[in-house]
Amino acid sequence: MSRRMSWSAPLLVGATFGALSTLATVGDSDLYWHLAQGRQTLAEGLARLDRFSWTVNGAPVLTDQWLGQVAWYGAYAAWGWHGIVLLRAVLVMAIVALVVAAALSVHARPFVAVLAALPAIALTRFSWTERPELMGLACFAALLLIVRLAEERPRVLLGAPFLLLLWANLHGSFALGLVVVAIVCGELALRRGDARALALGVVFASVVATLVTPSGPAIWTSAGGHFLAPPRVIQEEGVPDVTEPYGLVFAFVIAAVLVTSLLSRPAPLREAALLIPLFFVSLTAARHTPFFAVASAPYLAAHAPDAIAAIARRLRVPLPSLGLPTAVPGMRIDLATGILGIVAVIAAAALARAEPDLRSYPVAALESLPKGTGLLNEYDWGGFLIWYAPATPVFVDGRLFPYLPGVLDDYRAIVGLRPEWQSVIARRDVRALLLRPAAPVAVRARELGWRVVSSSTGYVLLARP
C-alpha cells in the first residue's frame, strides 16, 4: 500500500463508531437461531438437516452461513452476551474504517474522505445487527478497498480470491462480491492489455474460491434466492421505502451521486461499470441498500468537491480553502491508533448493557409452552423459541428458505385468517397458538373457544379445544 494513505483517520473514525455501537442492546430476532446452529455445528458437526422445527423437521437446510454462525456462538461461549456486543462492535469498526479508507485512497484529505463516507456509514447503521450478514458487509467493504487500491497497483486484486474464500463461508452476499470482481477485472482487461492474464486469473480463482464450502456449487442456491427472487413477504426483503429512515438516507445517497455526476468532471468508465450494477442491486431489497452507499463513498470523495465548487460558483458563494494536504502520519502512528481503537472498543463492550432486550418476546409464556409438536408461533419469535425453548419445535422462523413455499403459505393463511385457515390448522394439526393478542386468528380463535393458557399485553398462548 502506498504510504500516501494513512490508516490513522479510518481507524479513529472506525473505533469511534464501534464504541458507540455498544450502546445498542442485543435483540436481533435472527441472532438466536444463528447461535443455536453455531452451537450445534461445534458440538455435532455441520448441521445439514433441520432439527429446530416440526414443519420441516429433517429437511435439508442451508449451510451458507456456517462459519459466521460459529463465530457468533464462539463469541458468546467465550464472553457471554458481552462477547456478542464485542464482536458486533469490532465488525462495525472494521466496516467504518474500510469505508473511510476507500474514500481516503482517492482523496488525500481525511476531512473530505470522512464527509464522503458519512452517508454510507449512516446507511450501514441499519445493518449493525448480530448476524453473519454484518460479516458479509465487512467483506464487501474490504473488497471495495481492494478494488480502489488496484487502480494503481493491479496486483492487489490477488487478495480478492482469498477474501471470497472466507466470505463464501460467512454469508451468502459473497455472490455480489464475485460480480464486483468480474466487473473490475473485465474493465482492467479492456483498459490494460498487459494485465489481462492477471485479470482472468483473479476471476477464475475467485469463482473456484466460492465453491470451497461445505455446500459446493449448491452454495449459490441461497445467494440466488436473495438477489434474484427475494421473498417480499419479509420486510427487509421488500423494495426500499423512502418513507422509512433508512430509505431517506438511501435517497440522499442516490441524489448525491446523481448531482455529483452532473456537475463534476467526467468519471472513468470503471466508476459507472461498478456503481450502476450496484445501484440496481440495492433497489431489489431494503437489506441491499448499503452496498450502493458503500461503493459510492470513494466516488463522492473524488468528485463531490468539484460538484460543490460548481454549485458555489453558480450561487456566488465563497468556499473556504481546504489548504494543502497535511503530512501523512507514519506507520507507528497508525499502529498506535489501531491499538487504542481496539482497546476503546473492548472497554466499551465490557461496560455495555449486554443482556438481550427481550421485552418484545413472550418470555412469560416459556414455562407454559407445550412440549413437542403442534405450536404455531409468530414468525419473529421463531429464533427466540429455538434458543430459549428447545423442547418446543417451531412452526416457522427466520431461516425462511426451508419454509418456502408451502409452510410459509400455510402460516400466512392462518395468521391472516384467510378462508381456508381452519382447514390448514386441521391439516397441519396445529394444537396451540403463540401470537400477538391483536392477530386476527388469535381474536377469532378465542371466539371459537380456544383456551387461553397464558397471556399478557404482548402475547397470547391459546390451546385448541
Indicate the SS3 state at residue 210.
helix
pLDDT score recorded for residue 2: 43
Pairing of strands 432-435, 460-463: antiparallel
Q: Listing from the earlier edge strand, what are the strands of the sheet with 460-463?
A: 375-377, 432-435, 460-463, 451-455
Cell matching residue 413:
393463511
Instruction: Give the tens place of pLDDT for each residue, 358-399.
Output: 999 999 999 999 999 999 999 999 999 999 999 999 999 998
Buried b (16+ CB within 10 A) or exposed e, 12-28: bbbbebbbbbbebebbb
pLDDT score recorded for residue 328: 77
pTM as predicted: 0.94
Listing DSSP states for 214-233 in one string gives TTGGGGHHHHHHHHHS--TT
pLDDT score recorded for residue 330: 81
To the nearest 10 degrees (0 to 180), the angle between helices 406-415 and 421-428 is: 130
pLDDT score recorded for residue 1: 39
- Interatomic CA distance for residues 194 and 217, integer angstroms: 32
Instruction: Give the tens place of pLDDT for each residue, 148-205.
Output: 999 889 999 999 999 999 999 999 899 999 999 999 999 999 988 889 999 999 999 9
Cell matching residue 168:
463464501
pLDDT score recorded for residue 325: 60
pLDDT band, residue 232 (cuts 50/70/90): low
- Interatomic CA distance for residues 281 and 227, integer angstroms: 7
